[in-house]
Amino acid sequence: MNCSERTTTYGRKIIKGTQKNKSEYCKILYFSWMVCFVVGMLAGLILSVIISAMRSELVESTELIESNTTETSEPITETVSEVMVEPTVQSNFEPIIEPIVEPTPTPELKVISLGEYKLTAYCSCEKCCGKYALNRPIDENGKPIVYTANMSVAEQGVTVAADTDILPFGTVLLIDGNEYIVQDRGGAIKGNRIDVYFESHEDALQFGVQHKEIFLKEEGGVINE
């Protein structure tokens, strides 16, 4: 009995011992699991914090790169704007160039060679104009006003006399590249003859008689041949 009791008590003790050991083991397991869980959670938190920090740094760095690129791109836009300004300056020049290029219309005006003409010179004196030199109207300064045959005021460098049957009044002629206008005529000025007006008789004499190729600017008149 005693043995059995002892055994039973011993057995119970063993059972109790084993139960105690089990419960302690479970406690240890549970504690260790909790520790692992907590450590894992903490590690996870730390990792997440680190990752978020890394991401923010990356974003900042990318923003910096973007800002750097925008800063670097700004000078390019400035250079582009400078380049864009230059064409505007050039465009200011272009209208100036265009009128120079407009000589393309000048072919429309047509400079026609009239061949060689005999050029003489005259002034408003009686030797040159005879009776027409008399009774000229006088201007404010007391100087006689020299009217041409088409009632223009004679002007040196502009007025020429021509055969108005060939070159009517208003015809623009090119003599040595200078423009003259047919504003006068004379009894001796027929055919291929031009009389060039000078203000002084001396200058007219100095001009003498010349033979030159004359050109017609078509806008001034039409040849009536």
Which residues are near Zn ion by CB under 5 A? Answer: 123, 125, 127-128, 201
Q: Which is nearer to Zn ion, 199 or 218 (CB)?
A: 199
The sign of the CA dihedral 60, 63, 67, 68 is positive
Alpha carbons 218 and 74: distance in angstroms, whole number:
58
Alpha carbons 201 and 124: distance in angstroms, whole number:
8
- Tell me the HSE value of 100 on the side-chain side, using a 13 A CA sphere: 5
Tokens of 43: 């590690």
Alpha carbons 53 and 49: distance in angstroms, whole number:
6
Q: Which is nearer to Zn ion, 128 or 173 (CB)?
A: 128
Q: Which is nearer to Zn ion, 44 or 130 (CB)?
A: 130
Shortest distance (Å) from residue 160 CB to Zn ion: 15
Shortest distance (Å) from residue 122 CB to Zn ion: 6
Shortest distance (Å) from residue 213 CB to Zn ion: 26
Shortest distance (Å) from residue 198 CB to Zn ion: 8
Please tell me whether residue 52 adopts helix, strand or coil conformation. helix
Shortest distance (Å) from residue 183 CB to Zn ion: 17
Q: Which is nearer to Zn ion, 74 or 126 (CB)?
A: 126
Q: Which is nearer to Zn ion, 128 or 181 (CB)?
A: 128
Distances (CA, A) of 96 to 9, 34, 92, 151: 126, 91, 7, 37
Check: CB of residue 168 under 8 Å from CB of residue 182.
yes
| Nearest alpha-carbon partner for 148 in 179, 186, 191, 109 | 186
Q: Which is nearer to Zn ion, 121 or 172 (CB)?
A: 121
Alpha carbons 199 and 124: distance in angstroms, whole number:
7
Shortest distance (Å) from residue 124 CB to Zn ion: 7
